[in-house]
Amino acid sequence: MPIDLPADTDALLHLVLAGGAPEPRHGLLTAHGSAAAALRAGPSAWRAAGCSGEQLTRLLRPDPDALSRGRQWLAQPGRHLLSIDADDYPDLLRSVARAPLALFVHGDPTALWHPGVAVVGSRTPSPTGAELAAEFADAFARSGLAVFSGLAAGIDGRAHHAALAVPDGRTVAVVGTGPDRVFPPRHDRLQAQIAERCAVVSEYPPGTEARAGQFPARNRIVAGLSLGTVVIEAALRSGALITARLAAESGREVFALPGSVRNPRARGCHRLIRDGVRLVEHPDEIIEPLGAVAARLGQALRTRLDAPTEQARPTPPGSSSRSDPDYQCLWQALDENPIPMDSLVLRSGLTAARLSAMLQLMELDGKVVAVHGCYCRKP
């Protein structure tokens, strides 16, 4: 049965499937204002934008199997494709070099805007390294920061698990495969839990299997979404060091934990420290300096949602100062009992996407509490 997607979403999927260098396709979006208009512009415009011969061929005749997989994946609830020129595309990531043309998101797109820290390190950590990853991720989640990582074995997995174990903790997984694939396979349940609670993100279309070169590329997204990156055990040649370098190049804070001189997994961290990266021994040494930056990102979220600033907000949501009737409607739909999203959709008549954005703002304002995917007014 044919799957009908919004015209611009379908056109954006076509652009993503063209592959190759992102710059020509970025240029097409900028020049024509939308993915649909860029596709309608035709081969002469594509060529003028710098598209390669292979990209031209794929734009004219996209792989039908890949197109079908993408459409089927996007047609399911909780699946999104964010264009770099869309309001929901995270500003932090948009500012990095070679920002992805689009992001496939399984879960809540507004999670990508939440202030957070990247936790990265060895795929085969020492017992101490694994414990530290869990300890730091737990502290970040309890402080209200999201934990960003790459769903890899080792440090990544421990950090994701620790954040999920915190009530209302947030964690975002950036994967190096299509969003419908899991690597390593043993993280299938973990990936599903992250998608349900927060978001799983990929620049690769559905059906894309794990390939070595995709994982270093994935690291720029991990670094780009985060206010800072903390490295917990990393060999001298490792993906974690790539993430740290990309974070520094994007103007983000980088932190490294020291280790034993006899531990080869600590040598990458020691090199970072010698090169001037901040040595840290406790999560508070990361949480405190990022506090001001996190507040600015929260302000950006409020601005994006056309909401009042903290200084201009004297009364709670649902009061007469909220001129937006959607907020009034949502506030009336909430009470002191945790309510699942589908029930809020029915009570309010609003879309899940709109509700998700407003609920995150209310959480930032301290008016709403999330409890295992359900929401209630804060006591």
Residue 183 pLDDT class (50, 70, 90 cuts): very high
Whether residue 267 is predicted with pLDDT greater than 80 in this model: the reply is: yes
DSSP state of 205: P
Tell me what pLDDT residue 304 has.
Answer: 57
Fold of 305-377: Arc Repressor Mutant, subunit A (1.10.10)
**373 falls in which pLDDT band (50, 70, 90)?**
low
3 pLDDT above the threshold of 70: yes
How many Cβ atoms sit within 10 Å of the Cβ of residue 251? 8
pTM here is: 0.79
The span from the CA of 257 to the CA of 16, in Å, is 38
Q: What count of Cα atoms within 13 Å lies in the side-chain half-sphere of residue 96?
A: 28
How does DSSP classify residue 355?
H
Q: Are 173 and 191 in contact (CB under 8 A)?
A: yes
153-167 CB burial, b ≥16 within 10 A, e <16: ebbbbbbbbbbbebe
Residues 141 and 150: their CA atoms lie apart, in Å, by 17
- pLDDT tens-digit map of 58-72: 999 999 999 999 999
Average pLDDT taken over every residue of the chain: 87
Indicate the CATH number for domain 109-292. Answer: 3.40.50.450
CA-to-CA distance for 74 and 88, rounded, in angstroms? Answer: 16
Return all residues near 258 (Cβ < 8 A) that are at least 6 apart. Answer: 266, 269, 270, 273, 279, 281
Q: Which residues make up the CATH 3.40.50.450 domain(s) of the chain?
A: 109-292
Residues of the chain with CATH 1.10.10.10: 305-377
Q: What is the DSSP letter of 122?
A: -
Top-confidence residue, 39 or 1: 39
Between 95 and 47, residue with greater pLDDT = 47
pLDDT tens digits, residue range 152-164? 999 999 999 999 9
Phi, psi of 332 (to 5 degrees): -70, -25
DSSP string, 245-272: HHHHHTT-EEEE----TT-GGGHHHHHH
Lowest pLDDT segment from 130-139, 210-219, 330-339, 351-360: 351-360
